[in-house]
């Protein structure tokens, strides 16, 4: 039997990922010591290694977990081509941006957002796909216009999905979501807002480039249960710090984005928008 630390060493899978795969997908069911510490046996380690290899090969975690649970031996020789899940196709946005292929782009987005769990669409397909799109732009394999073409389509699709969700009940917790002054990178924070609303939270989405005075006035007017801002770039830090200082006396402030850990006075949400939204929704609904 192996501790979680030893299992992480043996499999190359970080501890937090081990817990996520256990809790979300049920890939393994570790035993527990009297002190409630996890213990993994050889079969669990083997399954985790197979799961890791499938994810590294391009499988979406849910699809990989399903394959491991249904056929642990067969999963050893599986390839991403064995599954038709759109969540495994993380280079599609790059291809669409390169070729300005509007038909394929819209079809790709429709298929991805047809999945039942929006948080998984965001964390397992959308955000990794956007990272690859940005990397392709940096390498010069996708032009600036092509990157904007694909990103604009994603933002439209996120907005559509947000507005098609049912309105939460009047007693639902309310959260303000948006970006600070000068910040316009909306894709991550818009994805977070969409998942949060899908979980029964009343989300007031304020968009990008909102001056601190507007944040303060809106917090006073609506009295939200929480305020969520994103810090997607280093350049956003001064404005976010200003907003947090102005808001935190009157509302709980939480942060997402790549540089969330560099702002004092607010709680970091983590780097997976979908999972962060699900977690926050659970906390707020339980508290209410």
**Average pLDDT, integer, range 206-215:** 96
Query: What's the confidence (pLDDT) of residue 101?
Result: 94
**Average pLDDT, integer, range 218-241:** 96
Higher pLDDT, 271 or 87: 271
Query: What's the confidence (pLDDT) of residue 62?
Result: 79
Q: Spell out the residues 6+ positions from residue 261 whose beta carbon is closer than 8 angstroms to its own.
A: 268
Quote the DSSP letter at residue 121. I
Query: What's the confidence (pLDDT) of residue 19?
Result: 85
Q: Spell out the residues 6+ positions from residue 276 whose beta carbon is closer than 8 angstroms to its own.
A: 192, 256, 269, 270
Predicted confidence band of residue 82 (pLDDT cuts 50, 70, 90)? very low
Higher pLDDT, 194 or 86: 194
Q: What is the CATH number of domain 2-82?
A: 1.10.1660.10
pLDDT digits (tens, 9 = 90+) for 64-79: 888 888 876 555 555 4
CB atoms < 10 A from the CB of 10, how many?
15
Query: Structural domain boundaries of the chain?
Result: 2-82, 87-164, 174-287
**What pTM does this model have?**
0.74
- Tokens of residue 262, six digits: 């560099």
For domain 87-164, which architecture applies? Orthogonal Bundle (1.10)
Segment among 69-73, 170-174, 280-284 with least mean pLDDT: 69-73
Where b means 16+ CB within 10 Å and e means fewer, 122-152 reads bbbbbbbbbebbeebbeeeebeeebbebbbe
pLDDT, the chain, mean:
89
Sheet holding 267-268, edge to edge: 202-210, 174-180, 226-230, 253-256, 267-268
Query: What's the confidence (pLDDT) of residue 81?
Result: 45
User: What is d(CA 70, CA 120) in angstroms, rounded to the nearest whole number?
Assistant: 20
Taking the CA atoms of the chain, what radius of gyration do you get in angstroms? 20
Instruction: State the fold for domain 174-287.
Output: Rossmann fold (3.40.50)
- pLDDT exceeds 70 at position 86: no
pLDDT digits (tens, 9 = 90+) for 90-129: 889 999 999 999 999 999 999 888 876 899 899 989 999 9
Taking each continuous run of H as one helix and of E as one strand, the counts in the chain are 13, 8
202 forms beta bridges with 174
**Average pLDDT, integer, range 211-217:** 97
By CB atoms closer than 10 A (0-12, 13-18, 19+), residue 80 is middle
> Under a CB-based contact definition with an 8 Å cutoff, are residues 118 and 198 in contact?
yes
């Amino acid at each position: 039997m192996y501790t979680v630390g030893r299992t992480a060493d043996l499999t190359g899978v970080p501890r937090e990922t081990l817990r996520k795969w256990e809790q979300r997908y049920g890939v393994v069911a570790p035993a527990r010591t009297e002190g409630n510490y996890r213990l993994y046996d050889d079969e669990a380690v083997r399954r985790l290694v197979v799961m890791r290899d499938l994810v590294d090969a391009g499988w979406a975690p849910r699809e990989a977990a399903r394959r491991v649970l249904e056929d642990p031996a067969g999963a050893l020789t599986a390839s991403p081509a064995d599954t038709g899940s759109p969540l495994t196709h993380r280079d599609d946005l790059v291809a669409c941006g390169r070729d300005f292929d509007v038909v394929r782009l819209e079809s790709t987005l429709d298929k991805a957002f047809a999945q039942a769990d929006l948080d998984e669409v965001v964390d397992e397909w959308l955000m990794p796909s956007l990272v690859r799109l940005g990397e392709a732009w940096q390498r010069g394999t996708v032009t600036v216009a092509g990157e904007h073409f694909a990103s604009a389509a994603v933002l439209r699709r996120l907005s559509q999905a947000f507005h098609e969700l049912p309105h939460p009940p009047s007693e639902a917790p309310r959260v303000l979501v948006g970006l600070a002054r000068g910040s316009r990178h909306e894709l991550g924070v818009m994805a977070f807002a969409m998942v949060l609303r899908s979980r029964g939270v009343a989300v007031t989405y304020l968009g990008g480039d909102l001056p601190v005075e507007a944040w303060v006035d809106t917090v006073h007017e609506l009295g939200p249960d929480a305020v969520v801002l994103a810090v997607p770039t280093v350049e956003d830090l001064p404005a976010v710090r200003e907003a947090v200082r102005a808001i935190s006396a009157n509302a709980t402030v939480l942060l997402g984005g790549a540089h969330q850990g560099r702002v004092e006075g607010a709680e970091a949400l983590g780097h997976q928008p979908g999972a962060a939204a699900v977690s926050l929704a659970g906390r707020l609904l339980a508290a209410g």
